[in-house]
Amino acid sequence: AWDGVGNEEQFALLKAARAKGTHLLAGIYSDETAKAQLGSVTEPFKTRLTRLLEDRHVSSVLTDAPWELSVELIQSLGIQRVVTESKSAERRKKWCTGAYEAARKII
């Protein structure tokens, strides 16, 4: 899910994620979720949403994405692959621990 300023790493990840399939659903956290989980928000929700909607690799956007994916959400949306926010193992461990447990179990 999209949580902040669109930097080159995040745009590269969107491009790489789209290359793995025909449809890229990108989740975007609400300001409240981002603040609660990350401590701050670098850009307001509307700005982040506009960036995602304008990205040519993104097919659709899940607004107010949950911090942790559930099996029910994954199955109801027909998600076949989950790609994490960061290429860095250290960042993934810091920010994504627990968030993708449901995906690891069924995908």
| For residue 11, pLDDT beyond 90 | no
Mean pLDDT (the chain, rounded): 79
The whole-angstrom separation of Cα 51 and Cα 62 is 13
Which comes out higher in pLDDT, residue 84 or 64? 64
- Band (pLDDT 50/70/90 cuts) for residue 103 is low
The whole-angstrom separation of Cα 91 and Cα 87 is 8
- Band (pLDDT 50/70/90 cuts) for residue 51 is confident
Q: What is the pTM of this model?
A: 0.73
Least confident range from 17-21, 27-31, 90-94: namely 90-94
The whole-angstrom separation of Cα 79 and Cα 30 is 21
